A and B are shown apart, each in its own frame.
Chain A
């Protein structure tokens, strides 16, 4: 497992696209020390790795294809209605290339 350091947490938050203060990282490091310790104890539970991971409470109970019914898609105006920056019916972002 990767060692939990401030640099690792800064890298994680940067990839999550937000910044945090030094004080917030200190709190987070404390929380990680608690969580990692608790997860280590969980690793000592007999048979813990003998069962498969549970993703959902029970397996899917319904299967099959949806009816192939035509639906009206959202209009361009509807799609862009909640965006703050819209130009000519399209969401405006800074240029990606030059």
Chain B
């Protein structure tokens, strides 16, 4: 018999309101599962704080869907009085003095934070293999030989393994939407600026988004209603108010980008994708395979690397090991910083920072950094052309199921698939983008992605609900067979 915690936000909320279970009992079960899980999801479990807060929640709030619901938070969001390291030794021992805006909103909604989740160091990775707490493994793979994906790896594990019904992450290239594909989850990144980034450790602010994992599109919509809103502490937040759409757009039109689809070779993924297209056509959608300049798609990865490394180098210059982090001795303050940064950053981070520094050098800017920003503009212009005709872009979220660790690398390669990097289109243009479970290859899940016009988060969610309904995979919990 399934546990109430295995449900969606709505079903858990209804159980709480009926008092079939208390927030305390729900939190105890979430913590029990977190301790039993061996996929390395958590930097820190907040058992005492979570149980103490849950005990105070005694009167159900029928209109508040997040009341008494346990959740997890990627450890690159500031939490007042709680160590926050972003998966990096250079921030070891750092205890923020303030809460991130999203933490405030969830506290206000009386959701219960049970722990801070593991991640790729400083959110600058896509494998879940580079954080200082070691690798995160995929709950769908009992042999622990496969990635969950990153950088929001621990949050993906926490929701996929049924520990919590939702968890927050951040998405700069695909750091929520790609792991969602490998984890059988809904991964949603709303329009850039829809959710305040106040208190999110910056990686590349022109690309960074607050994003999150849920087990249904409806849950993603509920969460956005709580998290969205202007915040004067983040000047990039949108002034418009998010309201869920009551209806599906009339005769939605979706574009399938031919070069991306052509680069996918996995027959199981292609067949499931084709089946979903037929189902969507029956549901009233129009889907067309359309061309898109291949050169621009091939430019996604180097453009992303150039821009993100440049922004990261600048944004992380404050990690000096003096104001916070482990203290080192030295004869000069430069010596202190040199020791802190040499010992505090992993090799990957150092390589990324040197790339960022190089592309920003005066003599290199025109042909590297500024050219990458120009290509970004070209790519966004090409996307806007698509959106003049279509309501969204519909594609497999990834070309494969979760990769084996032995086949994974954090080094740049001559060979990469455009189908492995196309989700970054949503970051370049700040578009709402959602990964939804599409199928299984053996016991391993894979997902599909919908990317709609900027500011049309409501339409993205409305179409996502129909896509989820057509595919018929909802509320999945690992391993296969544990789903409800």
Chain A contact residues, CB within 8 Å of chain B: 1-2, 4, 8-9, 12-13, 15-20, 24, 27-28, 30-32, 34-35, 37-39, 41-43, 45, 47-49, 51-58, 60-62, 66, 74, 78, 81-85, 91, 93-94, 96
CB < 8 Å: which of B298, B323, B335, B341 contacts A18?
A: B341
B304-325 contacts to A (CB < 8 Å) = 305-306, 313, 320, 322-325
Flag if A45 contacts B378 (CB, 8 Å): yes
Flag if A57 contacts B342 (CB, 8 Å): no
Q: Is B206 an interface residue (CB 8 A)?
A: yes
Contacts A30-B411, A48-B375 aside, 18 further interface pairs with beta carbons under 8 A come to: A16-B357, A27-B411, A28-B351, A31-B351, A31-B355, A34-B412, A39-B367, A42-B375, A52-B377, A53-B377, A54-B380, A58-B454, A61-B193, A82-B324, A84-B325, A84-B326, A94-B331, A94-B332
CB distance from B372 to the nearest CB of A (A): 7
Inter-chain CA distance A82–B364, complex, in Å, is 37
Ranked nearest first, the 8 interchain pairs of A and B with the lowest CB-CB distance are A84-B327, A57-B430, A53-B373, A82-B324, A38-B302, A54-B377, A18-B341, A31-B412
A-B contacts, CB under 8 A, total? 178
Inter-chain CA distance A57–B375, complex, in Å, is 13
Flag if A47 contacts B341 (CB, 8 Å): no
Flag if A19 contacts B338 (CB, 8 Å): yes
CB < 8 Å: which of A18, A28, A37, A51 contacts B377?
A: A51
For A45, the chain B residues whose CB sits under 8 A away are 295-296, 299, 375, 378
For B376, the chain A residues whose CB sits under 8 A away are 53-54
Surface stretch bound by A, among B29-37, B229-237, B282-290, B433-441: B229-237
Q: Could you list 16 examples of A-B contacts with CB < 8 Å?
A: A8-B358, A16-B313, A16-B354, A18-B341, A30-B412, A35-B306, A35-B412, A38-B299, A45-B296, A48-B375, A51-B381, A54-B428, A58-B430, A62-B238, A82-B93, A82-B94
Flag if A19 contacts B454 (CB, 8 Å): no
Interface magnitude class on chain B: 35 or more
Flag if A2 contacts B380 (CB, 8 Å): no
Q: Is B265 an interface residue (CB 8 A)?
A: no
Flag if A48 contacts B374 (CB, 8 Å): yes
CB distance from A30 to the nearest CB of B (A): 7
Flag if B428 contacts A57 (CB, 8 Å): yes
CB distance from A83 to the nearest CB of B (A): 6
CB contact under 8 A between A94 and B364, given known A57-B192, A82-B323 = no
Convert B337-363 into 0s and 1s, putting 1 for each residue whose CB lies closer than 8 angstroms to a CB of A: 110011001010011011101100101
Inter-chain CA distance A2–B360, complex, in Å, is 11
Q: Is B239 an interface residue (CB 8 A)?
A: yes
Flag if B192 contacts A58 (CB, 8 Å): yes
CB distance from A51 to the nearest CB of B (A): 4
